[in-house]
Structure 1
Amino acid sequence: MPTRARPFRCLLLALSLLAACPAGAQDGERNRNAAVAIAADLTAGANGATKLTFTLSKPVEARAFVMERPDRAVIDLAEVNFQVDAETGRRREGLVQSFRYGLFAPGRSRVVVDLAGPATVGKIETVARQRDGATLLSIEFQRADREAFRKAAVASDPLPALRKSLAAEPADSRPLVMIDAGHGGTDPGAIASTGVFEKDIVFGFAQALVARLESYGRYRVRMTRDRDVFVPLGERVRIAREAKADLFISIHADSISAAPQVRGATIYTGSEKATDAESAKLADRENKADAAAGTDSAAPPTDVADILQELTLRETRGFSAGFARTLMGQIGPVMEMSGKPHREAGFVVLRSPDVPSVLVELGYLSSKRDLDLLQSQEWRESVTGSMAKAVDQFFTNRATLGRPSGPPRKAASIAPVSP
């Protein structure tokens, strides 16, 4: 073996072993056979084409399609453990404006390429590099006119996203609390100046909140995502409704790079009309998460078809607002709150007609003070403790007031979600 190839092969072997070593038994089993990506490179050719090349530990199958509004290309892969420099995807070259990658569904990874203009996917090649044993996966993008691009987008038939199945549970009368960690997988959410992703901050917080609630023994607790995987917005609502959740709490963190002095938490409840322009803009930005991950967003079915169901929705929103006020009262003494701590906006994840739902923006990644607190274990324990008290108070009140009345809940449809 040539001397120069030996270190690279050792690196490939080490990363492959790392992918197979479990942080937990389930993760180890899931990642055991995953390929490892250790580099990504963009090159623009003289013919106007642009090539994106991943260096992998072993071959993987790839399938690509394009989507319009915004213009992007999506590459679906078997599961890949991406060990690539985070800055790599922010580089612009030729037809590629930027790209992002991550776990999209169990056993599947996805690369979403933001295109600088209309382009179609040309050749997808997998070749073995003889000198070190690496596998090079190359995807070529070719410039196209708008009409040709539109036809290619219409003709795309992406694989349906794998629905998250919910196993039947034995009878358990304890309330079910659904914790929703925002973003995930190919959708990083807001990004701090330090490079920290919102998806990682809120997932860690959500796990801590789940652990706190489970320790009480009074609740069943689930998460809409239990790892760094993308879950479409409407799917999060369906997961909660299919499980017949009694409360839905979505965890997020905002960012305003132009105003680093702005900080504090805000609690949102659902409404067709936002309380202010800032809330409307935030909801619009959050509702575009599906598009950022290469999925066409569709509003979840509300099942509001008659007056009785309309009353159910109104009553559910009343419970949501009540929990928001309770939550504000509990967390206010232990964390900074924004100038308007309770607001309303049309977030997709808050559109369930029969599950009281709130979205909590924990703070701003653009604020150094908020970012420090969001990464503090002591702060996290204090805030999750106060949130758990709010959950206790909410269900104590519900025992007196009763659940929202109205028609029996319908099981959410099992229609596939198309990327």
Structure 2
Amino acid sequence: MIESRRRLLRSTGSLALLLSAPGLVWGANIVAVRVWPATDYTRVTLESDVQLQARHFLMEDPPRVVIDIEGLELSPQLRELVGKVLPDDPYIAGIRIGQNQPRVVRLVIDLKQLVDPQVFTLPPVAAYNHRLVFDLFPTVAPDPLLALIREKEQAERQAQSAINDALGEFIDRMNRSPSVATAPTPAPAPAPLTPREPVDAKTKSKIDRLVIVALDPGHGGEDPGAIGPSGLKEKDVVLQIARKLRDHINAQPNMRAMMTRDADFFVPLHQRVEKARRVQADLFISIHADAFITPHARGASVFALSDRGATSTAARWLANKENAADLVGGANLRHNDAHVMRALLDMSTTAQINDSLKLGSEVLGQISRVGRLHKRRVEQAGFAVLKAPDIPSILVETAFISNPEEEAKLRDPRYQDELVDAMMSGIRRYFAKNPPLARNRQL
């Protein structure tokens, strides 16, 4: 009897030591925390070694989201979330963290406005472990088409104000010194780019409304895209290039660029297409800088959609890789409307593909003057992001970021400028030959 009790005590002691061992997985260990603020929505991500379970509810006066995460203890990594919130975050005023119950951590996200929260989990993929994601969307989504029109009107008002200020300054100087004729010194303003191709009167008469070009910088947020040998991230360099191209487009008379993302956040593939369709874009250009399995691949490429299979093995490989972006970036597939996604996959048209090939040919021809091409013709494959049924759409691979020499070129602002000039020239040449049609909703 005594011996059996001793054995029980020894086994109990061994169990106690085991349970207190640092390596024992009582629950989740937080690997990293991230906050991705953007005008569209703000994302909060908790990355852990096991899947987290969470419950959430909204409270008002003041507005906040309360999240209880089970199987978790406070840790230094988790507390880092408080300092991740930026002052200019459109939705989050701050985050508070506390041990609400044993093994239950409570997050309180103090809000600047009411939101529509989405909470979901993502399984391990690429370099990520398990992720618990909180997406905070505005309760009323802004109208992107109206935003473009207001942006254009504001730019016109600012330009007119600069002219008026310069004229007023000149008149004031003339009044002070009537005997001295002084030339006016208007404030400098960016001059519209002059088309290299002449546009005939018939074409000019057709371009009678705002022409919108949707620019889609690939990847973003949780999805870095390809990473070069020295650490340059695809998502960062394509955003820089897209911003420069946007400025060129906005400098054109009666043209405006809409960006699917203008900051470092993730946009699911089908939402990129939907954004372009919501503003009734005339063109859709997705910008990338991809990698290959060897560092020797080099050169720029242009791709259009295919409804008959890929034109090469490399094109098929690249399309499959780009179409997997939702898995890495973290799309809430349970929230997406399934029939909308199926429709986007099935609504491609022959006319759209033909127009896309024309656009791609013009852009590729101009890029060839800047640097080496990977392929000298527009390739085709089933890129999900190119499946807008009514918008000519191309995907531009600016260079192979996996090639050390091309990574250095992508980092060089001068090369970026040359590339953007070439893309802008291709866009102008396309419109000179294919004037945009009238919209149902005139601007």
* Alignment TM-score, normalising by the size of structure 1: 0.61
Q: CA deviation at 1:158?
A: 7.1
Residue 279 to residue 103, structure 1, CA distance change in 2 (3 Å): farther
Residue 361 to residue 50, structure 1, CA distance change in 2 (3 Å): same
Q: CA deviation at 1:229?
A: 1.1
The C-alpha deviation readout for 1:204-227, integer Å capped at 9, x for no partner, is 010011111222234111101111
Partner secondary structure for residue 375 of structure 2? strand
The answer on whether the counterparts of 1:316 and 1:404 sit within 8 Å (CA) in structure 2 is: no
The C-alpha deviation readout for 1:185-242, integer Å capped at 9, x for no partner, is 1111111121221100100010011111222234111101111111111000000001
Matched, 1:267 2:302: yes
Partner secondary structure for residue 279 of structure 1? helix
Q: Distance in 2 between matches of 1:304 and 1:230?
A: 20
The C-alpha deviation readout for 1:139-162, integer Å capped at 9, x for no partner, is x99xxxxxxx99xxxxx9976856
Q: Distance in 2 between matches of 1:128 and 1:110?
A: 17
1:39 corresponds in structure 2 to none
The answer on whether the counterparts of 2:303 and 2:360 sit within 8 Å (CA) in structure 1 is: yes
Which protein is richer in helix relative to its size? 2
The answer on whether the counterparts of 1:176 and 1:246 sit within 8 Å (CA) in structure 2 is: yes
Amino acid across the alignment from 1:320:
S
Correspondence for 1:248 among 284, 294, 303: 284
1:315 corresponds in structure 2 to 351
Amino acid across the alignment from 2:232:
V
Tell me which structure has the larger Cα radius of gyration.
Answer: 2
2:129 corresponds in structure 1 to none
Amino acid across the alignment from 1:181:
P
2:264 corresponds in structure 1 to 228
Amino acid across the alignment from 1:178:
A
Amino acid across the alignment from 1:343:
E
Partner secondary structure for residue 388 of structure 2? coil
The answer on whether the counterparts of 1:181 and 1:206 sit within 8 Å (CA) in structure 2 is: yes
Correspondence for 1:46 among 2, 11, 24: 24
Aligned length in residues: 296
Matched, 1:286 2:322: yes
Q: How does 1:135-284 map to 2 (within 5 A)?
A: 165-168=143-146, 169=149, 173-256=209-292, 258-272=293-307, 273-284=309-320
Over the aligned positions, Cα root-mean-square deviation in angstroms equals 3.8
The answer on whether the counterparts of 2:229 and 2:403 sit within 8 Å (CA) in structure 1 is: no
Which protein is richer in strand relative to its size? 1
The answer on whether the counterparts of 1:240 and 1:248 sit within 8 Å (CA) in structure 2 is: yes
Q: Distance in 1 between matches of 2:311 and 2:211?
A: 30
Q: CA deviation at 1:358?
A: 0.2
Partner secondary structure for residue 188 of structure 1? coil
Matched, 1:111 2:59: no
Q: CA deviation at 1:331?
A: 1.1
The answer on whether the counterparts of 2:304 and 2:379 sit within 8 Å (CA) in structure 1 is: yes
Matched, 1:349 2:408: no
* Alignment TM-score, normalising by the size of structure 2: 0.58
The answer on whether the counterparts of 1:252 and 1:359 sit within 8 Å (CA) in structure 2 is: yes
Residue 392 to residue 301, structure 1, CA distance change in 2 (3 Å): farther
The answer on whether the counterparts of 2:276 and 2:284 sit within 8 Å (CA) in structure 1 is: yes
The answer on whether the counterparts of 1:112 and 1:294 sit within 8 Å (CA) in structure 2 is: no
Residue 260 to residue 234, structure 1, CA distance change in 2 (3 Å): same
Q: Distance in 2 between matches of 1:113 and 1:249?
A: 32
Correspondence for 1:385 among 416, 421, 434: 421
Q: Distance in 2 between matches of 1:314 and 1:290?
A: 26
The answer on whether the counterparts of 2:300 and 2:375 sit within 8 Å (CA) in structure 1 is: no
Q: Distance in 1 between matches of 2:344 and 2:269?
A: 17
Matched, 1:123 2:71: yes
Q: Distance in 2 between matches of 1:103 and 1:124?
A: 25
Mean CA deviation greater in 215-224 or 367-376: 215-224
Q: Distance in 2 between matches of 1:164 and 1:230?
A: 18
The answer on whether the counterparts of 1:104 and 1:185 sit within 8 Å (CA) in structure 2 is: no
Residue 47 to residue 249, structure 1, CA distance change in 2 (3 Å): closer
The answer on whether the counterparts of 2:361 and 2:378 sit within 8 Å (CA) in structure 1 is: yes
Partner secondary structure for residue 337 of structure 1? coil
The answer on whether the counterparts of 1:180 and 1:223 sit within 8 Å (CA) in structure 2 is: yes
Amino acid across the alignment from 1:180:
D
Q: CA deviation at 1:51?
A: 0.7
The answer on whether the counterparts of 1:181 and 1:250 sit within 8 Å (CA) in structure 2 is: yes
Q: Distance in 2 between matches of 1:178 and 1:190?
A: 22
Mean CA deviation greater in 236-245 or 382-391: 382-391
Amino acid across the alignment from 2:322:
E
The C-alpha deviation readout for 1:57-81, integer Å capped at 9, x for no partner, is xxxxxxxxxxxxxxxxxx8x8xx3x
Q: Distance in 2 between matches of 1:255 and 1:114?
A: 28
Q: Distance in 2 between matches of 1:159 and 1:208?
A: 29
Q: Distance in 2 between matches of 1:285 and 1:221?
A: 27
Q: Distance in 2 between matches of 1:53 and 1:182?
A: 26
Mean CA deviation greater in 369-378 or 44-53: 44-53
Partner secondary structure for residue 374 of structure 2? strand
Q: CA deviation at 1:47?
A: 3.4
Q: Distance in 1 between matches of 2:329 and 2:98?
A: 21
The C-alpha deviation readout for 1:371-396, integer Å capped at 9, x for no partner, is 11111111111111111111111111
Q: Distance in 2 between matches of 1:194 and 1:164?
A: 39
Amino acid across the alignment from 2:71:
K
The answer on whether the counterparts of 2:41 and 2:135 sit within 8 Å (CA) in structure 1 is: no
Q: CA deviation at 1:174?
A: 2.4
Residue 53 to residue 253, structure 1, CA distance change in 2 (3 Å): closer
